């Protein structure tokens, strides 16, 4: 069941239901300190005090797209939270624990950044590729001539390209148990990094790299931009790594940002994200903030990848969400 923050509809004949927005048309609350911090990163621009028109902020197109996916048998989990006001704008089965593939590296990156801050990890420690089991699922380190890289460069590769070898090297360095303890410390009970990345998963391997819920994924991204994930320094470091992510093909396709250089947008758009992809799994979580509003979001879609059309419908739902989010923040 998916509920959105609008008052214009009360029932739907499909599996997705649109509910009312009590806050629609009310005056905005004063900006909180975290919002001011985000504004400073966007060049110090203040947000406009007025709310956007109800029709532009209803997420009706997103609801229709997700409704169609759910009706076709896909499992859909979504959460959008307004960062300034703290209320949930859109939520649907956001408590479900579902596969999240490469998005599981986010708590790994948080643990690495925390170790660097605590002095238990040396960011310039050289990690040899030969010490990591071969994996060719995704990434560029396998194609580079450099046989070894500093630990901090591996974090950049894991965040920016989803590099499986780099992620596995980080997992080997800090350990899955440490990542699980960090996840627990962050208050995430439906999220877990279960295993390293593998080219093939046998009967003795964990069935998934990572699992999570849309609710917790949106919350951890909100914590990162609000300087609440472990510490301000750790939050800033992980947000900086994630701001280098090259995959802007799903929700982020609506931003029009350069996939390879979107850290400082001339229009004052703050954006960080991470995606996850596996057979029949597409996931994206992130933060999008413009002059009018800021949101943390997460969308998980698990579908039968029977044809290109099945996959395209799933991708189109992410792009539709991106368009609605852009209208919300601008």
pLDDT in tens, 7-19: 333 333 233 433 3
Do 270 and 177 fall within a single domain?
A: no
Q: Is residue 26 a part of any domain in this protein? A: yes
User: Is residue 226 predicted with pLDDT exceeding 60?
Assistant: yes
Residue 70 CA from chain centroid, whole number = 21
Do 218 and 325 fall within a single domain?
A: yes
Do 107 and 187 fall within a single domain?
A: yes
Residue-level pLDDT at 136? 86
Averaged confidence pLDDT in the chain: 86
Do 122 and 54 fall within a single domain?
A: no
pLDDT in tens, 165-221: 999 999 999 999 999 999 999 999 999 999 999 999 999 999 999 999 999 999 999
User: CATH number, domain at 322?
Assistant: 3.40.710
Do 184 and 149 fall within a single domain?
A: yes
**What is the 3-class SS of the chain, one letter each residue?**
CEEEECCCCCCCCCCCCCECCCCCCCCCCCCCHHHHHHHHHCCCCCCCCCCCCHHHHCCHHHHHHHHHHHHCCCEEEEEEEECCCCCEEEEECCCCCEECHHHHHHHHHHHHHHHHHHCCCCCCCEEEHHHCCCCCCCCCHHHCCCCEEEHHHHHHHHHHHCCHHHHHHHHHHHCHHHHHHHHHHCCCCCCEECCCCCCCCCCCCCCCCEEECHHHHHHHHHHHHCCCCCCHHHHHHHHHHHCCCCCCCCHHHHHCCCCCCCCCCCCCCEEEEEEEEECCEEEEEEEEECCCCEEEEEEEEECCCCCHHHHHHHHHHHHHHHHHHHHHHC
pLDDT in tens, 105-138: 999 999 999 999 999 999 999 999 999 988 988 8
- Which whole number is the average pLDDT over 97-104? 97
Residue-level pLDDT at 31? 35
Last-in-domain residue among 142, 168, 199: 199
Report percent pLDDT > 70 for the chain. 83
pLDDT bucket at 3, cuts 50 / 70 / 90: low
pLDDT in tens, 63-72: 999 999 999 9
Domain count for the chain, please give it. 2
Do 195 and 221 fall within a single domain?
A: no
Higher pLDDT, 247 or 5: 247
Q: Is residue 204 a part of any domain in this protein? A: no
- Which whole number is the average pLDDT over 307-314? 95
User: Is residue 47 predicted with pLDDT exceeding 70?
Assistant: no
pTM of the complete model: 0.85
Domain containing 288: what range?
Answer: 1-94+213-330
- Which whole number is the average pLDDT over 46-60? 53
Do 68 and 108 fall within a single domain?
A: no
Q: Is residue 313 a part of any domain in this protein? A: yes
> Six-digit token pair at 108?
């790994």
* Selection from 296, 298, 234 nearest residue 270 by Cα: 296
């Amino acid at each position: 069941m998916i509920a959105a923050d609008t008052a214009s509809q009360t029932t739907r004949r499909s599996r997705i239901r649109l509910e009312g927005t009590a806050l629609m048309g009310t005056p905005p609350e004063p900006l909180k300190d975290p919002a001011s911090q985000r504004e400073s990163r966007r060049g110090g621009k203040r947000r406009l005090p007025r709310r956007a028109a109800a029709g532009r902020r209803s997420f009706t197109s997103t609801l229709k797209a997700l409704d169609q996916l759910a009706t076709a048998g896909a499992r859909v989990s979504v959460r959008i939270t307004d960062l300034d006001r703290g209320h949930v704008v859109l939520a649907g089965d956001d408590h479900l624990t579902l596969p999240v593939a490469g998005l599981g590296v986010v708590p790994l990156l948080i643990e690495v950044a925390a170790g660097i801050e605590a002095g238990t990890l040396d960011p310039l420690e050289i990690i040899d590729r030969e010490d990591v089991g071969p994996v060719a699922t995704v990434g560029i380190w396998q194609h580079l001539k450099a046989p070894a890289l500093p630990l901090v460069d591996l974090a950049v590769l894991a965040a920016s390209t989803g590099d499986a070898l780099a992620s596995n090297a980080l997992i080997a360095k800090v350990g899955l148990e440490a990542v699980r303890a960090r996840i627990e410390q962050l208050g995430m009970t439906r999220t877990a990094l279960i295993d390293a990345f593998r080219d093939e998963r046998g009967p003795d391997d964990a069935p998934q790299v990572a699992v999570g819920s849309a609710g917790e994924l949106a919350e951890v991204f909100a914590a990162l931009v609000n300087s609440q994930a472990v510490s301000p320094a750790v939050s800033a470091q992980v947000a900086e790594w994630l701001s280098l992510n090259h995959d802007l093909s799903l929700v982020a396709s609506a931003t029009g940002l350069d996939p390879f250089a979107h850290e400082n947008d001339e229009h004052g758009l703050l954006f960080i994200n991470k995606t996850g992809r596996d057979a029949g799994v597409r996931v994206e979580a992130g933060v999008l903030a413009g002059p009018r509003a800021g949101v943390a979001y997460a969308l998980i879609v698990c579908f039968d990848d029977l044809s290109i059309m099945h996959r395209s419908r799933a991708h189109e739902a992410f792009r539709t969400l991106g368009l609605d989010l852009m209208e919300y923040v601008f």
